[in-house]
Amino acid sequence: MNYVKTAILLAVLTALFGAIGYALGGAGGMIIALLVAAAMNVFSYWNADKMVLRMYNARQVDESTAPDFVRMVGRLAQNANMPMPKVFIIETPQPNAFATGRNPENASVAATTGLLKMLNHDEIEGVMAHELAHVKNRDTLTMTITATIAGAISMLANFAFFIGGRRNNGIGGLIGTLAIMLLAPMAAGLVQMAISRTREYQADKIGAEISGKPVALASALEKISQGAARIDYQQAEDNPATAHLFIINPLHTKKIDNLFSTHPNTENRIARLYEMATGMERSRRGPWG
């Protein structure tokens, strides 16, 4: 996600902040909300990755605590010609992973214990290559700031229910307040959904190129999708605005949080990877293969 798209995204989310502020306190409330949003944008740029890692109780590991995993990430980073990111492990049985950080020089990748137990070596390699692709594409800044601000929008919209609008008519009235409560989080979710699908397909493609194993990544996606469907992840359920960070939506399929899924269809992603594997095999064989 390039810097122009990042700026547009932040502008949209900032406008939502302003709209909620206007509903709660008129022009004065809008100004306060916009100032808060501006401060959050600056704070998120420098700190959102740390907030997300703390949110999921991620534990940083190194070659002394998780040698095989850390060395794997190091080899993949070399393949991608990028700096070695910090490596984290999250204690949860649900298989999943994400990347975060404002740029490749300040990036982190995280995998759950469920993923490390459920997947084989090649599949884990495929997943971590996918996450490094997000870092290489500079998606992680957009992903992390979006998670922080979208979550704040949801909280502010819920806050509107308790204090209501100060104005007696128009958008500040009860109907306007209820509309903001419903529409603001929905709009933030739609922004996340809109930017996520192409980003995930692109990370699958580049990740498969980094690892050289598109079939292994396809197999990993299938296993992670099945695991996420049957294993609840309560921390993710409590923080649905961060769902788009993960390689597969961590929110349970039986719950309403998946109404606006931030991830493309897993079967479509798998199909594209198999097509890519076929193309790579043909290239290796050459025109006479």
Q: Can you give the pLDDT at residue 227?
A: 95
Tokens of 87: 């490596």
Establish whether 131 is a catalytic residue: yes
DSSP single-letter state for residue 276: H
Give the pLDDT of residue 169.
47
| pLDDT per residue as tens, the chain (289 positions) | 455 665 676 677 677 767 776 766 667 666 766 676 667 667 766 777 888 999 999 999 999 999 999 999 999 999 999 999 999 999 999 999 999 988 899 999 999 999 999 999 999 999 999 999 999 988 877 776 666 666 667 666 666 656 554 444 444 556 655 666 666 666 666 666 666 667 888 899 999 999 999 999 999 999 999 999 999 999 998 887 788 889 999 987 554 444 456 688 899 999 999 999 998 877 776 655 5
Distance, in Å, from the CA atom of 193 to the CA atom of 40, rounded to the nearest integer, reads 21
Question: Cα separation of 131 and 142, whole Å?
Answer: 14
Residue 91: its pLDDT value, please?
Answer: 97
Domain count, the chain: 1
pLDDT of amino acid 259:
46
> pTM of this prediction?
0.79
Rounded (10°) CA dihedral 281, 285, 287, 289: -110
Helices 214-230, 121-136: inter-axial angle, 10-degree rounding: 100
The one catalytic residue among 131, 200, 222, 267: 131
What's the Cα-to-Cα distance from 164 to each of 30, 158, 172, rounded to whole Å? 14, 10, 8
Quote the domain boundaries for residue 268: 3-285
- Long-range contacts from 47-50, C-beta under 8 angstroms, 24+ separation: 48/100, 48/144, 48/145, 48/147, 48/148, 49/100, 49/101, 49/102, 49/106, 49/107, 49/108, 49/140, 49/144
* Helices 214-230, 266-285: crossing angle, 10 deg rounding: 170
Q: What is the pLDDT of residue 256?
A: 43
Q: Please provide the DSSP assignment of 133-201 as one string.
A: HHHHTTHHHHHHHHHHHHHHHHHHHHHHHHH--SSSSGGGSHHHHHHHHHHHHHHHHHHHHHHHHHHHH
pLDDT at 258: 45
Task: Provide the token pair at 105.
Answer: 């020089």
Closest C-alpha among 208, 229, 235 to residue 123:
208
DSSP states of 210-244 as a string? HHS-HHHHHHHHHHHHHHHHHS--HHHHH-GGGGG
Residue 112's beta-bridge partner residues? 90
